[in-house]
Amino acid sequence: MASGKKIWGKWRFDTNAFHLFLLTSALIFLFSTVHLPFARAQEVSQEEIKISAPVLDIWLEQTTRVFVVHEGLQITQGSTAINAHSAVIWLDETSARTQKVVTIFAYAEGEVVIREAASLRELDKALFTLQSRRGLRVLGRRNYFKQPQMSALYQRALEARRKPEIIPEARTLVAPPPTRPPLQLFPIDSDGFDFESWVEEGERISLITGGVDAVSGPVEIKAESIVVWAEEAAIAAGAPAEEAQVRIYAEGDVVVFQDSDIIRASRIYYDVAQQQALIIDARLDTYNEDSQMHLYYRAVVMRQLDRGHFEGKYCTLTTCEFGRPHFHFRARDLKVVERPAPPGEEGPWHRATTRHNVALVYDIPVAYWYQLSRDIEETHYLAKKAKYFRSSRMGHSAETIWDLYDFGLHERSSLTRDMDAWSDLDLRLDYYGKRGPGVGLIFDYARPEAWGYFEAYYIHDRGTDIGGVIPPTRDRYRIKWIQRAFLPDDWQLDIEISRISDPTFLGEYFEEEFKEGKVQENIVYLKRQGDIRAVTILYRFRLNNFFTRTEYLPQLAYYVIGQPLWGDRLTYHSRGEAARVRLRPADALGLPAQAAWRVDLESELSYPAQIGSLYPPLWRIYDVYNRTFDINRLRHIVTPDITLLYRTSSTSPISLYQFDAVDMMGNFEIVSLGLRQRFQTKRRRVDRHGRIQESVVDFLILDAEIDYFPNAARDNFGDDFSDLNLDLEAQLTDRTTLLAEAQIDVADAFDINVFNIGVSLDRSPLYAAYLGHRYSRMAGTSALTAALDYNISEKWRLGVLSQYDFQGGGSTRQRILLTRILHRWILEMEFGVAPGRNDTIFSFNLYPQGLPGRRYRTVAGLRPY
């Protein structure tokens, strides 16, 4: 919102400026300044709360959302601004959802500065509360955690919250509404400025031309010419803008500021009291900070029916700022409705619904859909994923994911109308030339009481899998559901369901999940956890009969963690379990299931005692300097360690059914020896404020480990020692790193079993490269890997990955990725060869910039863009 001070800052002390000053003063006096009362402590501010930080750690504790900022916090609300080095913020999601009031309680520390309307305070620590009816906006990169992160900062915040008297500054901050008259007029430029005003039938009418900025109530309008109507009696009585019945007509380069909305138009008529408007040639511009993309809405005629509710006729929307956009949607009807965002998310949200939509490329119609509905800050066009590729195994193929909420189907029922505020619903449509069509549904949701993920996928497969394996069925599918629910009385319920048609399906169509994801299982897990005690009930069963699984039907467990005894001298830990356990081998093995009742009890009593140091600190400083490797003296730290483990069992594991790791415990002895070395130096850095900072870095890390088995015949197949493990990491420069590891068989003439070495270079933003070699004697592999990500120019990027196995039969992997940055679009061309999968792939991707989950890809993942 502009202010008089902001405009006056442009004046110069000349004759025109002096006349303009007198004219502006007359205008303000004419409309009688009305001072609004400051908000009392119990009032809730109508100003939005905005939290900004480079990085925020976020998790959920029952119905409270926790934000932790370790560096660079800024909170603003109206005229209140709070800056601090670090902070912990608690958001009450229950009141936000039920009372429509956002309440945050915050602990801040480190150079805390609180700026309010007429005061500034500097503190070491502060506790404060903010409330808002306009929602909460959170800006910054977010790291989500499922469990609380018990950092030192968070523990200090908890202590301060429990004992607020230790911080006398603890208080509630209220952002007062600005005090201003019902109407303020500020000339934009002195050249050509003209003002006329008269009273007609009890109504004050004012005509201003030559460029003016009008501020009235919640709206600010800038235009070449403005006509204002207001009740003369109400103005004389000092009434606010709503009671003065202020109405504004503006034309000529009109810009309207209302809350977070910015609307441009050729003409507008605005009723301040009713918050209604008629806008001609409206242009609504939005910006998505995550994707750094603009989205432009245009309407020949737009009406504002009330605050945050717009309807338009003959509209277009596009991410292209050109007068003739390359790609855009054209719609006959547009409706934009404002609504509160989910707690903890940026808000408020604006949902745009359009009807009779036509997609155009250079004014050529290419598609039609009756109704679309979307968040106006989203920048993707219906599709979240769109990819075409040709593969020797799959043939000509296409993979797409469509946002079903954008099609507006959920708005046809009151039961589903608000689902898009807390969930994503996507449709996956694929086609593989040599395999067949596939269809899937993805439902991802998060609410204060539960969050989860559901995915179903089906394909009628007419091909063969890797290695020529023929699937046992042509109708292949997977169903997966994961959910965590927060129940009353601190109970937590986890559910995981996984059903797969056959054992090779995941490896064929969900390769990343198959290689890196968790084991597919089916569980119902109920837990209640206190400070030091927890009780759990687990029911795990098998749905996929081609896997071997251990079932718990059910398992009841009780935990005691860190129970202090004898005046905190002793600490007691315990775990007790009673379960009905059943081992079900895969059906193909033809083996019978084995079941048993099992009771386990584990107890530990610890007594910390300081016996003394077994060795003096081993470190030394060397006066070594080297400009090439940026070495400014070296500190050598040597840390030897030894671990002894002795375990005995009265029953041999051979005499027990092997249901899980508990039944495998037998007699075992091992002595682990380690020698860890650090070579540290000091290097200078320039921080983000341009200041030179000196920091300690590990120039060289060298670790050695080996295990000794006193009873080698029983515990290590007759070898007294394990392999000698060596790990080396050298930070040669800020952008060059050397990594190496080796496993040496000391029992077999010190033969090398594994040896890996690689060097990575990061010369951002120009290029990043990696060269490495991996040798494994048992796997028969001696592979050389080279990778390069190179920015040819602002428009072109190149990625190359090559891998050659000298012992395994030649080339094992080749990839080339060429990326062209177009205007608001990204074009990717990729060629790859994977002999291990007997596959050659060529893909061609064209997608809009800002597509969720998509960034400029790198061929080897050497660096993010």
Is residue 342 very low, low, confident or very high in pLDDT (cuts 50, 70, 90)? low
Q: pLDDT for 68-104, tens place per residue?
A: 999 889 898 877 889 899 999 999 877 776 666 788 9
Residue-level pLDDT at 618? 82
Q: pLDDT for 611-660, tens place per residue?
A: 666 555 688 999 999 988 999 999 999 999 898 888 887 777 777 777 87
Residue-level pLDDT at 34? 30
Listed residue (696, 691, 765, 701) closest to 730, CA to CA: 701
Query: What secondary structure letter does DSSP report for 96?
Result: H
Listed residue (527, 535, 526) closest to 557, CA to CA: 535
Distances (CA, A) of 821 to 712, 788, 795: 61, 19, 5
Q: pLDDT for 527-571, tens place per residue?
A: 999 889 999 999 999 999 999 999 999 999 999 998 999 888 899
For 365-380, the DSSP string reads EEEEEEEEEEETT---
Burial of 590 (0-12, 13-18, 19+ CB in 10 A): exposed
Diameter of the chain measured on Cα atoms: 110
Grouping H, G, I as helix, E, B as strand and the rest as coil, residue 795 is coil
Residue-level pLDDT at 180? 53
* Strands 136-144 and 49-61, bridge-based pairing: parallel
Residue-level pLDDT at 428? 95
pTM value is: 0.65
Looking at 43-47, 90-94, 353-357, 490-494, which range is the least confident one? 43-47
Higher pLDDT, 502 or 310: 502
Please give the mean pLDDT across all residues of the chain. 82
Q: Return d(Cα 572, Cα 569) in angstroms, integer.
A: 10
* Strands 203-216 and 194-200, bridge-based pairing: antiparallel
Residue 40 is which amino acid?
R
Is residue 760 very low, low, confident or very high in pLDDT (cuts 50, 70, 90)? very high
* Across 208-233, average pLDDT: 86
Cβ atoms < 10 Å from Cβ of 147: 8
Residue ranges of domains in the chain = 1-36+180-257, 49-172, 275-379, 382-518, 521-609, 610-749, 764-865
As a 3-state breakdown, the chain gives helix, strand, coil percent values, each rounded to 5, of 10, 60, 30
Q: Return d(Cα 198, Cα 351) in angstroms, integer.
A: 42
Listed residue (130, 143, 124, 50) closest to 84, CA to CA: 124
Residue-level pLDDT at 531? 86
Q: pLDDT for 256-266, tens place per residue?
A: 887 656 788 99
**Do residues 360 and 327 lie in contact, with contact meaning Cβ atoms separated by under 8 Å?**
yes
**Do residues 791 and 797 lie in contact, with contact meaning Cβ atoms separated by under 8 Å?**
yes
Residue-level pLDDT at 170? 44
For 813-838, the DSSP string reads EEEEEEEEE-SSEEEEEEEEEEGGGT
Listed residue (793, 798, 800, 811) closest to 770, CA to CA: 800
Residue-level pLDDT at 447? 87
Q: Which residues contact 700 (CB under 8 A, 6 or more apart)?
A: 677, 678, 679, 728, 729, 730, 731
| Pair of tokens at residue 354 | 């359009």
Q: pLDDT for 300-316, tens place per residue?
A: 999 988 877 888 899 98
Cβ atoms < 10 Å from Cβ of 782: 16
Q: pLDDT for 766-791, tens place per residue?
A: 899 999 999 999 888 999 999 999 99
Q: Which residues of 310-344 are buried (b: 16+ CB within 10 A; e: fewer)?
A: bbbeebbbbbbeeeebbbbbbbebbbbbbebbbbb
Residue-level pLDDT at 858? 62
Q: pLDDT for 733-744, tens place per residue?
A: 988 999 999 999
Residue-level pLDDT at 68? 94
Task: Reply yes or no on whether the pLDDT at 326 is more than 90.
Answer: no
* Across 486-503, average pLDDT: 95
Phi, psi of 338, rounded to the nearest 5 degrees: -90, 140
Q: Give start and end residues of each alpha helix (H) in 214-340.
A: 232-236
* Across 356-367, average pLDDT: 87
Q: Return d(Cα 810, Cα 831) in angstroms, integer.
A: 18
Looking at 151-165, 180-194, 652-666, which range is the least confident one? 180-194
Residue-level pLDDT at 298? 87
CA dihedral in degrees (169, 171, 174, 179; nearest 10)?
-50
Share of the chain above pLDDT 90, in %: 36
Task: Reply yes or no on whether the pLDDT at 348 is more than 70.
Answer: no
For 534-578, the DSSP string reads EEEEEEEE---TTS-EEEEEEEEEEEEEEEEETTTTEEEEEEEEE
Q: Return d(Cα 78, Cα 45) in angstroms, integer.
A: 9
Listed residue (80, 81, 58) closest to 69, CA to CA: 58
